[in-house]
Amino acid sequence: MLGLTGAPGAGKSTLATGLIREWRGQGKRVAAIAVDPSSPFSGGAILGDRIRMMEHHADEGVFIRSMANRGRLGGVAAATSDMTLLCEAAGFDVVLVETVGVGQAEVDVARVVGVTAVVVVPGMGDAVQALKAGILEAASVLVVNKCDYAGAADFVGSLRGEFPATPLVETTASAGRGIRELADVLEQRKQEGAGRAQLWRWRMREMLLEQLAEGISEARLQEAAELVAGGGGDPYRIVDEWVGSLRG
């Protein structure tokens, strides 16, 4: 599973379209999932992605879906994890997950997918700050897209200086440049098994948490909420009673 993350408009969907074309050329079946953690109502963006990836819509070797936030941050990662597992079980050779932004939700999604490409654009100083602040910890590959922009070479040079240990690929997705190299580097990272054990632990942790939350009946939850809201109960004590054996 591969993740593609980066700021709005960085060119993730254009890169995804190019990568899908490349993988299809190699005879691979591809699932592409676009996740939008920031906005639960991003009908526009979802529609945009669908239209942009239209060249693949009639290809039965390609599965494209969009997913919105399910109301909580961890939910994106958990739902994405389920979806990627399903796609793998269904026999897709590559599962690509596109997320917008460089925040915590993207880091979570990156943990789920294992190998992540972070897409940045020349001149995006903010993104570089975000990279320094931690997202690169989860990143396997840096992609500088829009290398047709002025100042691209300088930007690439400074990034290589900042992150000497991270593979960096230069692309101009709109012209199809650098796509094959990116596909090769992603494949290589995948082969290296980057983040496999970590990925598995994360999935299991999410699953356990979900099961734990589902173990409490709606009636009990409602009863306790009314008690606490009415001033007749201490929420900490109630939770302590429920999960007492798990303390410490």
Ligand X SMILES: Nc1nc2c(ncn2[C@@H]2O[C@H](COP(=O)(O)OP(=O)(O)OP(=O)(O)O)[C@@H](O)[C@H]2O)c(=O)[nH]1
Residues that bind ligand X (CB under 6 A): 6, 8-14, 45, 52, 100, 145-146, 148, 172-174
Cβ nearer to ligand X, comparing 173 with 199: 173
From candidates 2, 7, 11, 13, binder to Mg ion by CB under 5 A? 13
**Of ligand X, Mg ion, none, which one sits near residue 148, judging by CB under 5 to 8 A according to partner kind?**
ligand X
**Of Mg ion, ligand X, none, which one sits near residue 157, judging by CB under 5 to 8 A according to partner kind?**
none
| Residue written as token pair 């925040």 | 103
Smallest gap, in angstroms, from Cβ of residue 133 to ligand X?
20
**Of Mg ion, ligand X, none, which one sits near residue 145, judging by CB under 5 to 8 A according to partner kind?**
ligand X
Under the criterion CB under 5 A, does residue 116 sit at the interface with Mg ion?
A: no
Query: In this chain, which stretch among 12-20, 101-109, 121-129, 209-217 interacts with Mg ion, using CB under 5 A?
Result: 12-20
CB 12 within 8 A of CB 119: yes
CB 170 within 8 A of CB 178: yes
- DSSP letters of 198-214? HHHHHHHHHHHHHHHHH
| Residue written as token pair 């190699």 | 26
Maximum separation of any 2 CA atoms in the chain, in Å: 65
CB burial of residue 211 (10 Å; 0-12, 13-18, 19+): exposed
Cβ nearer to ligand X, comparing 11 with 195: 11
CB 3 within 8 A of CB 80: no
Query: In this chain, which stretch among 6-14, 125-133, 135-143, 156-164 interacts with Mg ion, using CB under 5 A?
Result: 6-14
Helices (H) and strands (E) in the chain, counts: 10, 7
Smallest gap, in angstroms, from Cβ of residue 89 to ligand X?
27
Residues forming contacts to Mg ion in the complex (CB under 5 A) are: 12-13
